[in-house]
Structure 1
Amino acid sequence: MLSGVAGLVGFSALAGLLVTVMVTPAVALTGITASSTIGIFDSLPEYIVINQQPERNTLWAQYHGEGNTNGYYPIATIYDQNRQEVPYDQISQFALDAAVAGEDERFFTHGGVDVQSVIRTALDNVIAGGIEGGSSTLSMQLVKQIYVQQALQEPTEEERKAAYEQATGLSFDRKLKEMKLAIGLEKQYTKKEILTAYLNIAFFGDNTYGIQAAAQRYFSVDAKDLTLPQAASLIAIVQFPNSRALDTPDNYEANEARRDVILASMQRLGMVTDDEYQAAYDTPVDDAFVKPSPPSNGCIGAQEHSKWFCDYVVKNVKNFAFLGETEADREAAWKRGGYNVYTTLDLDVQIPAQNLLWNYVPAAETAFALGGANVSVEVGTGRVLTMAENKVYDNTLEGGGPTTSAVNYNANEEYGSSTGFPGGSTYKLFTLLAWLDAGKGLGERVSGDARTVDQAKFKVSCTDGGGPYGGPYPFKNDGGQSPGAMDIVTATAGSVNGAFISMGLQLDQCAIRDMAKNLGVERADGDPLTTNPSAILGTNEITPLGMAGAYATVAASGKYCEPIVVDRATGPDGEELPGQSPTCRQAISANVANTAAVALQAVMTGGTGSASNPGDGIPILGKTGTTNNAEHTWIVTSTTRVATAVWVGNSVGLYPLYDYEWAGYVGNRLRHPVMAGTMAAINAKYGGALFNADDGTLRGGSSLQVPDLRGQSPEAAKALLEGLGFGYLDGGPIDSEVEAGKVAQTDPPAGATSAFGIVITVYTSKGNKTAFPDVVGDGQTYSFDDAKTLLQSQGYNNVDEDCQKLPASTLPTDPRIDKVGSSNPAPGSFVVPGQRVTLVVQKLTC
C-alpha cells in the first residue's frame, strides 16, 4: 500500500509524510528543521524535463567499397561524452530487467518514490548517526543524473565543480528535491520513457555514457544484442564505476560480485529462468568475457586514411551555420552532439591518394624532415574530396614519434597549425593571369634570359606587401640557361624564370598579389602576401589547399569557390540539415581564365609537368614549382572536374631534395608519381571534358621593331631603347665607317621584330673603315701590276693575285685578257685599311 502513496497524495501532503518518515528522525542528528525542509520541497518545480544528453557526433565519407551504408562510410566519432542514445526497443530485455532488478525492484509499482525504502533508509540513518543513504529509485537516480549532466556543462571548472557537488552531495535537502522531481517525472513520462532515459544517461566509466556506448566499449556489441551476463555486468558498474568498470582487469572481481547479486535478484523476480541464471552465474568476468573495443573518440581514432580530413572538419565546426547562429552556439551544439555529418570526403579516391603519399614520401625518413601533402577540390563547388599527408595524425600530448604529426600541411595556421611553404613556380599562375587581365597576349615575346635586374624598376602601387624595393636582384633559370626571347606559352610550359620576371616588369606587383588573393590564396601565417620581385617566382609561404582552389578557378572559367567539407547532416532528433552550400563568385573573367588554361595545358603535355600526367586522355592543366635547391617541390593540376595540389619538401629545415632518392626517384621528382596516381584514381571516377574555349583575343601579341640607331650617341640610343621597353647593353667598339664613338650597329639589327624587355646590344664605331678603291672598273682597264701599284699607294701592301679563266670562245684580241675582273674586298665596301686583298685577273688559261 505504501508504494502507491506517492501517486495518490498531493505534494504538500507528501511533504508532510516524507518529513515524518525521513526527516524527523534526523532532526536530532543534523539540527535541520522540518518547516524549512517543507518550504524547500514546496518551492521546487513540479517536474524536470528529460532533455537530450551529450552524444557522439559521427563523420561520414562517400564510399562504395565494402562496409558502406547507402554509399557512405563512418570515418570518425567525435564526442565530449561517449554516448549514443537508443530507443527502448533497441535495448536488450536483459539490460532493461537488470536495471530494475539491480537498482529499483518496485520500479513498475511506485510513483517515483519508494516509501518502503524511504522508511528503511531513515531508520538506517538514525542507527548510523548520520546521512548514509537515500533509498533512490530509478526515477530519483535519473533526476540526479540530469543535474550531474547539467553541472558538467557549466562554462568554468569552478562552476562545474560547485554544481556537481550540489547535484551529488549527501543532504536531506537534495534528497527531498530528487523525490519531488521524481514524482513529477512519473506524472509526465511513462515508465518505459524513464527507464530508457536512465539507461541512456548512466555513466559506465572510462568516459562511457549510456547503455549503447557501454555495450560497444566493453563487449563490442550493440545494446540490443547484450546477453544476460553482459547486461548484468554493465548494470553492476553504475553505482561504483571507478571500482567496477570493465576498462581494467583490476575491477573484474568487484564487478562479478555485484553482477551475481543482480542475477540473483532477476531470478528471484522471475525475470530469468533457473537455467539462464545458472549459466550466467557460471560465466566468469575475465579477459575472455570482456571483448572491448578501444575508445575511438576524436580524429586520432578515425579511419586510418581520413584522420587529416577529420581534423580539418573539427576545426571548421565554428563555420557550420547548420549548428547555430553564432560560433558559440555552434560549439555548444557540437559539444552536445548527436549529429551525423555527411562530409565531402570521397574515400574512393582518398584511400589511394593517402597510400601514394605513404609509398613515395616515407614518414619514417630520418635524414631530414621530409613532408608531403595532397589535397583535391571539386571544380565549381569547392568541395574538398581528398586531404592526405605523409605523416600519421597524432594530436596527443605525448605524440607518437617522428612518423607522426599534429600539423596539417594542407591547411593554414588557423585550421592546420601550418605556416605554409614557398609555392615556387606554381605561384607564376598569378603573373600569367595578371598579364592576360592587363590585355597582354600569349603570343607576346619576352626575354627568358637569366640576369640581374634593378628592383626599383618594378612597379609596386600598394603599401601592405612590403617595399619599396631597390638594389640588384640576380636570378637564374633552372639549369642556368638563357634562351633569349620566347612567347608566353613556351615560357609557361618550361617554367622559365627569366620570362616571368620580364612579364613582372610590365605589371604592377600589387596586381599579381591581388590576383592571388582573389583566387583564395593567402599566406598560411595570416600575414599579407608580399609583393617583392622574388614573389613572382614563389617565395610566399602558402598552402596546398589554397593552391588547389586557385587552379580549380581557372578550370571553372574564372569562378572561385571557397572550400567546403559538409554536404548535409542530421540532427540529434533525425532532422535533415542543409550542410554547407557552395560559396562561389566570378573571380576573373572567363576569357582570361580560358586563355590561361591554354598555356597551362602545355605544361602537362610537353612541359615540366608531363611526368605527372596520368596519360588517360583526359585534358589536364597544371604547373610545377621548385624552390632553390629543391627544398620544396610542387605540382598543381586540374581537370574540368577536380583540382589537386601535391607538395613534397622540408617540413622543417632546408635539405636539398636533389640529394635524396627514394623508390627509384630523385627527391625533387617524388611529387610526380604521387600526382599521376592520384589523378588516375580521380579521373577514373570523375572523368573530365575539354576546357572551355577562349575567344582568341588574348592569343596574339604586339610586336616591337628595333629602331635604326646608326650614327646616334650611345646615350641617345640607350634612352630611346629603354623608352620603347627594351633593355640596353653596351657591346663595345667595333670596326666601322661610322663616326668614331657613334652607334655602329645593334643585335638584334634595326628593323628586326623583338619582344618587350629584350636586351639590345649596342656597338659603337671605331671610325676606322674606309671605302675600298675601285681597281676593277669595267674589267678592261687595270692590269694586276697597275692595280697593285694603286692599292699600295693607299696602304694595301698585302695584295694577292688569283686567276679567272675566260670562256674558250674568247678571241685573242678581247680587251679583258690580263685585266682585273673582280676584287675582294669589293669596290666601295668599307674595310679596315691594310687588310689582305685578292685581285682576280681574267686569262685565256690559268
Structure 2
Amino acid sequence: MRAQNHPPRRLLSGLLGFTGLSVVAGVLVAVLVTPLVAVTGVTATNTVGIFDSLPEFIEIGAQPQKNEIFAIEGTDAAGAPVYRQIAQVYDQNREEVAWEDVSPFLKQAAVAGEDRRFYEHGGVDLQGVVRAAVGNAAGSSKSGASTLSMQLVKNIYIQDALREPTEEARTAGVRAAQAATLDRKLKEMKLAIGLEKRYTKDQILLGYLNIAGFGGNNYGVEAAAQRYYGVSALDVSLAQAASLIAIVQGPGARGLDDPADHAANRERRDVILKNMFVERMIDRAQLDEALAIPVDATTVVLAPYRNGCIAADPYATYFCDYVTTLVSELDALGASAEERTANWVLGGYSLYTTLDLRLQTVAQDAVAKQAPATEARLALGASAVSVQPGTGRVLTMAQNTRFDNSAAGGGPGTTSVNYNTDRQYGGSRGFQIGSTYKVFTLINWLQSGHGLNEVVDGNGRTVQQAAFTNTCANSADGGGIEDGPFGGPWPFKNSSGERGNRTVMDATAASINGAYVSMGLQLDQCETKRIAQALGVHPANNVDDPSTTDIVENKLGSNPSAIIGTNVIAPLTMAAAYAGIANHGVYCAPVAVENVTDRNGTALPGQARSCAPAVSPEVAATTVFALENAMKRYAGNPKDGRPIFGKTGTTDDFDQTWLMSSTTTVTTAVWFGNVSGKYNLTRYPAGINNRHLIAKPINLAANALYPPGAFEAPAAALVSGRGVTLADFTGGAADNARSVVEGMGLVYADGGQADSTLPAGAVVSTSPAPGALVARGTTVTVVTSNNALAVVPDVAGTSLDEAAALLAGAGFAAVTPSCVAVGQGGAVGTATSSNPAAGVTARKSDEVLVAVGRSNC
C-alpha cells in the first residue's frame, strides 16, 4: 500500500536526480556555503571539489534485530521435536517488518512530520534548504532541512558506529554522524541523492521506519509499537502513529517511557496530525478524533522488555546464558569469532537448542526443592545437567539460584554464575569432584589388563608419593607442578574407616580410597590423566587468569591425590565424560545448538558435532558393569527396572558431593555443595543424601522420555583380570610363605599369632584367602599359630593315671578327676568320659575333668 497518491516529481526533483552532481553542488554551495566564505575563507570552488570527492552510494542494508532462542517442548506424531521460544536476545530492540506490515498511518505520519515533499524531491529538498539557510542566517530557525532520505543516511552511519568494537569508537562514530558540520551535511546530501537513484521511495521510507530510534533501546516502528502500545506496527491507530513519529526528532524529550515527556510528545503529535490533514491524508473527523485522545498513562501502556536471559523462561535462564556464550563458536554465523559476534549483534537469528523442557522442568524443580537458594547456614549451591550419550546433546541444565546478570544484581539467591559450565562459558572455577574421578583410574586399571575380581589392599594408610609412576612429570604434555615429580609421605584415610583387602569390584561400589590408591600404585598416573582428557575432562577454570595463583586449578592434575578426586571440574564436563563411557567409549563434546535459521529464513547448521573414540568398547563395557553394581547401592537409583550405572563423589571435608548416573540414553551429573567456604554437609538436613534426592526424579523422568536399552556384557578377561592366584600356605612355615608371597610381587605382612592346633609358627590363615586372584603389590597378611590349642584325646576305659598321661601327652596339664557312680558289675576305677569331651579342640591351659567310675560317690 502506498502512503498516499504521489504527484509527479517537479522540475527540481529531476534536477537533483539526473543533473550532474557538481551542478547540484553548486546550487547547494550557493545557499549553504556562501555565508561562510567571508568568515572561513572557504571558496565555492573548493567546496564543489569536496562534494565531488564524496562517496556516491550507500546501502540501506540490514539493521540489528532480535535473536530468538528455542527449546524442545515435545514431539509431534512423527517424533520430530516441537520447539517453543524461551528467550530473545538483542543489542537493539528491533524487528524489521515488510512494507505491507506497516500501518498506512505510520507511513503518512512520517512523511507529514518529517518530509512533506518526500515524494517530490530527489533526495535533497532545495526549497527546504533555501528556507533553512535563510532562517539560520536570520537566527529565526535552526532547521537542518534534512529529508527522510538524508535522515536515513545519518541513521545508517549511526548504526555503523554502534557496531564498532570499542565504546570509544562507538561514541566517536555517533558524534561524527550527528556533527553539525558542512562536510557531514554535504555527505548526507550526496548519499541521499545516491539512495534515490538506487531505491524506490517506498523502500527508502520503509528503511527509515525500520532504522529510526524511538527512545530507549527501541528501534524501528515494530518494536516501538509493541513497547508503547502492545500492538504491531500494522495495527496502530492514527493517534498512536503520530505519537510514535513525534518521538524521532527528540527521543530524549518526547519519548513515551517517561510520563514527564508525554506533554511534549502530544504537542509534536498534534503538529503531525494537522500536517496530515493539510496534506489531505486524513479528513476533519479523523483529525478531531485523534486530537482529542490524550497522551498519558491511559493511552500509553508499556509492555515489559523481554531482552536477554534474565527475562528468559524461568526454567531455562542459565541454559540461555550458556547458549549465548557459544555464539563465537557457531560456524554458521561467520568465518571468525569476531565476524560471528558482529553478526549476532546484527541479529535476526533463531537458535534451536537441545534443551528438553519436559526433563528440564523436573530437574529444576528437584534442585530447587533440595537446595533452597536462600539458605542462610552456608553458601549452598546445587546443579543438575544431563547429556545424551552418542550425540553430546545437552538435555537439561538446572541450578538452585535465580539468574541475574543486571548491574545492580538481584540480591540473595541470585547469581549470574552458571555452576554447570566452565568459567569461559559463564561458569565458576568448578568444584572438587571427589570419587567420581576414580572412574578414570578404573579405566586405566582395566586398560592395563587388570580385572574387577583382583584383590587389592583397601586400608587407609600413609604412602610415599615417590612410589607412584608418572610419565607426565617433566614431559612435553605435563611438566607443571600439577604433574610432579612428587615426593614425601601422603597420609590418607577411608571415609567410613573401611579396612582390609577388597576386590576392585567391591572397592568401586564402596568407593574405598585405600583400594584405589593401591591400584594407582600399579599404574601410570599420566595415563589416567590422558584417559580423562580423551573423555573431555579439563579444569573448569581452563582460561588464563592472572588473578589465579593455584596452578593445579588451571591444569588437570596427575598428582597422586587426583586418584581420589582433587581436580576441580564443571558438572557439564563430567556428564559428557560419563556419557562417553555409556557410548561404548566414544566421547562426544557437549552440543547445545541443534540448528540455526537466519533473518531470511535460511536453515543453517548448529554446533559442529565432535565425537571420537576414547576408551575401547571392552573396557567401557566392563567399567559400566562395575558402576552398575555400585549404582544398586545408591538412593538415586529409580529402581524402575531400567539398567543404570553411576558413581558418587564426596570430598574429605564433606563440603562437595556428587552423583553421576547414566543409562544408554541419558547421563546426569548432580552436584550439591558449598559455593564458597567450608560447611560439613553431613550436618545439613538430609545430608549428602540430597544428591540422590535430586537425581532420582530426574532419572525416572529421563527413563520415561528416553527409554534406555541394555548395557553391553563386560569382557570376561577384564572381570577376572591377570593377577596371581594366592597359594595355600596353611600348615607351612611362615618363612616359606614370606618367600613365596614376595616372589609373586606381593607384600608380606605379619598378622600376628592366633590360637591353633598347628605347630607354633605354622601358617594358620592368610588374607586374602587361598585361591584369591591377587593384584601385584597387594599386601598378604599371614597369621601364624601359637600352638595354644589341642584336641582332647579319648580317655574312656582307661585308668585315671592312664587318662592323665594321655591328656598330658596332648598338652593338657590340668587334669581333675570326678566321681561317677556305677552299679554292681560296673567299671570301678575306670574313666568313662571327659569334659571337654573327646575330639573337642580346647586351649591347653584349660582344666579337663575326667569322670571315673565309683561304687559310691
TM over 0.5: yes
Aligned to 2:301: 291
Unmatched 5+ residue regions in structure 2?
Answer: 1-9, 543-553
Aligned to 1:371: 381
Q: CA deviation at 1:743?
A: 5.8
User: For residues 264-279 of structure 1, what are the structure 2 equivalents within 5 Å?
Assistant: 264-279=274-289
Q: 1:793 to 1:57 in 2, by over 3 A?
A: closer
Matched, 1:303 2:303: no
Q: CA deviation at 1:390?
A: 0.8
Q: 1:754 to 1:212 in 2, by over 3 A?
A: same
> SS state of the match for residue 719, structure 2?
coil
- Residue identity in the other structure for 2:626: A
Aligned to 1:515: 531
Q: Is 240-249 or 621-630 further displaced after alignment?
A: 621-630
Q: CA deviation at 1:488?
A: 3.5
Aligned to 1:613: 637
Matched, 1:125 2:136: yes
Is contact 1:709–1:717 with CA below 8 Å preserved after alignment?
A: no
Q: CA deviation at 1:135?
A: 0.9
User: For residues 428-467 of structure 1, what are the structure 2 equivalents within 5 Å?
Assistant: 428-463=438-473, 464=478, 465-467=482-484
Deviations 1:192-243 (A, max 9, x none): 1101111111111212211122122222222222222221111111111111
Unmatched 5+ residue regions in structure 1?
Answer: none
Is contact 2:90–2:308 with CA below 8 Å preserved after alignment?
A: yes
> SS state of the match for residue 659, structure 2?
strand
Q: Pick the aligned partner of 1:74 from 77, 85, 97.
A: 85
Deviations 1:159-186 (A, max 9, x none): 3333333321112332222112111111
Aligned to 2:107: 96
- In structure 1, what is the Cα distance between the partners aligned to 2:663 and 2:298? 54
Q: 1:795 to 1:295 in 2, by over 3 A?
A: closer
> SS state of the match for residue 431, structure 1?
helix
Q: Pick the aligned partner of 2:801 from 785, 790, 797.
A: 785
User: For residues 542-553 of structure 1, what are the structure 2 equivalents within 5 Å?
Assistant: 542-553=569-580
Deviations 1:296-346 (A, max 9, x none): 332222222211112111222221111122222222222222212112222
- In structure 2, what is the Cα distance between the partners aligned to 1:235 and 1:697? 80
User: For residues 552-631 of structure 1, what are the structure 2 equivalents within 5 Å?
Assistant: 552-604=579-631, 606-607=632-633, 609=634, 611-631=635-655
> SS state of the match for residue 251, structure 1?
helix
Is contact 1:409–1:543 with CA below 8 Å preserved after alignment?
A: yes
- In structure 2, what is the Cα distance between the partners aligned to 1:448 and 1:18? 94
Aligned to 2:127: 116
Q: 1:790 to 1:549 in 2, by over 3 A?
A: closer
Matched, 1:182 2:206: no
Deviations 1:753-795 (A, max 9, x none): 36436543334677x889999997xx88x63235547977999
Q: 1:600 to 1:744 in 2, by over 3 A?
A: closer
> SS state of the match for residue 621, structure 2?
helix
Matched, 1:675 2:727: no
Deviations 1:46-86 (A, max 9, x none): 321112222222222222499xx982222222222222221
Aligned to 2:549: none
Matched, 1:690 2:717: no
- Residue identity in the other structure for 2:344: W
- In structure 2, what is the Cα distance between the partners aligned to 1:447 and 1:528? 30
Matched, 1:747 2:766: yes
Q: 1:831 to 1:392 in 2, by over 3 A?
A: closer
> SS state of the match for residue 587, structure 2?
strand
Aligned to 2:504: 488
- In structure 2, what is the Cα distance between the partners aligned to 1:205 and 1:473? 65
Aligned to 1:641: 665
- In structure 2, what is the Cα distance between the partners aligned to 1:90 and 1:579? 30
Aligned to 2:546: none
Q: 1:833 to 1:361 in 2, by over 3 A?
A: closer
Matched, 1:761 2:781: yes
Q: 1:388 to 1:694 in 2, by over 3 A?
A: same
- Residue identity in the other structure for 1:414: Q
> SS state of the match for residue 480, structure 1?
coil
Matched, 1:230 2:240: yes
Q: 1:772 to 1:446 in 2, by over 3 A?
A: closer
- In structure 2, what is the Cα distance between the partners aligned to 1:418 and 1:668? 22
- Residue identity in the other structure for 1:525: N
Q: CA deviation at 1:20?
A: 2.7
Q: Pick the aligned partner of 2:360 from 350, 371, 387.
A: 350
Matched, 1:524 2:540: yes
Deviations 1:429-454 (A, max 9, x none): 21222222122223333344444444
Q: Pick the aligned partner of 1:653 from 665, 673, 677.
A: 677
> SS state of the match for residue 335, structure 2?
coil
Q: CA deviation at 1:109?
A: 1.6
Q: 1:278 to 1:689 in 2, by over 3 A?
A: farther
RMSD: 3.6
- In structure 1, what is the Cα distance between the partners aligned to 2:223 and 2:537? 43
Q: CA deviation at 1:826?
A: 11
Give the total of aligned pairs: 824
Q: Is 27-36 or 115-124 further displaced after alignment?
A: 27-36
Deviations 1:581-600 (A, max 9, x none): 32101111111111222222
- In structure 2, what is the Cα distance between the partners aligned to 1:671 and 1:793? 65
> SS state of the match for residue 122, structure 2?
coil
- In structure 1, what is the Cα distance between the partners aligned to 2:703 and 2:378? 34
> SS state of the match for residue 26, structure 2?
helix
Deviations 1:270-314 (A, max 9, x none): 222322222221111112212212333322222222111121112
- In structure 1, what is the Cα distance between the partners aligned to 2:597 and 2:821? 105
Matched, 1:499 2:515: yes
Q: 1:449 to 1:38 in 2, by over 3 A?
A: same
Is contact 2:571–2:669 with CA below 8 Å preserved after alignment?
A: yes
- In structure 2, what is the Cα distance between the partners aligned to 1:824 and 1:11? 133
> SS state of the match for residue 531, structure 1?
coil
Q: 1:770 to 1:619 in 2, by over 3 A?
A: closer
- In structure 1, what is the Cα distance between the partners aligned to 2:522 and 2:348? 57
Is contact 1:820–1:841 with CA below 8 Å preserved after alignment?
A: yes
Is contact 1:772–1:826 with CA below 8 Å preserved after alignment?
A: no
Q: CA deviation at 1:796?
A: 6.5
